[in-house]
Structure 1
Amino acid sequence: MTALNSYSTGTIDVTADGTTVTGTIWSSAGNVKSGDIFQNGRFSATITDVTDDTHLVITPGRARH
């Protein structure tokens, strides 16, 4: 089984039911890419685009129970 990489440094901002995540240094450091899973607490969503170093686009996510 392949271990999953995790990135948990920095800050984020996403509105309720939003699909844009604003945060710190996504792409230039090679931290995330399309198809990765964005998770914050019990909320998770698929990353559909990394538009620049500070913005991600995600699918409408859902809280896991």
Structure 2
Amino acid sequence: MALPETDLHRIRLWAQERVPEHLWDELKVEADVSDRHVDIVEVRPPWDGVGEHTRFPITRLRYTKSSGQ
């Protein structure tokens, strides 16, 4: 079961608008998509510039096909 593309687009736009563009080097809000849900995560670079970005989950949005919600 796939999530509707229009809803995914709307979620991605919402996430992108949470942080002003001039701060994107320090903080981003992104949407991680799977088959039945979308996780909204906060993404930050490593404080010392070495290693992977940290991804902190904020919330999970679930999709129910039968109700369309």
TM-score in same-fold range (> 0.5)? no
User: Max radius of gyration: which structure?
Assistant: 2
TM-score normalised by the shorter chain: which range applies?
A: 0.3 to 0.5
Question: How high is the TM-score relative to the length of structure 2?
Answer: 0.34
Q: Higher helix proportion, which one?
A: 2
Question: How high is the TM-score relative to the length of structure 1?
Answer: 0.35
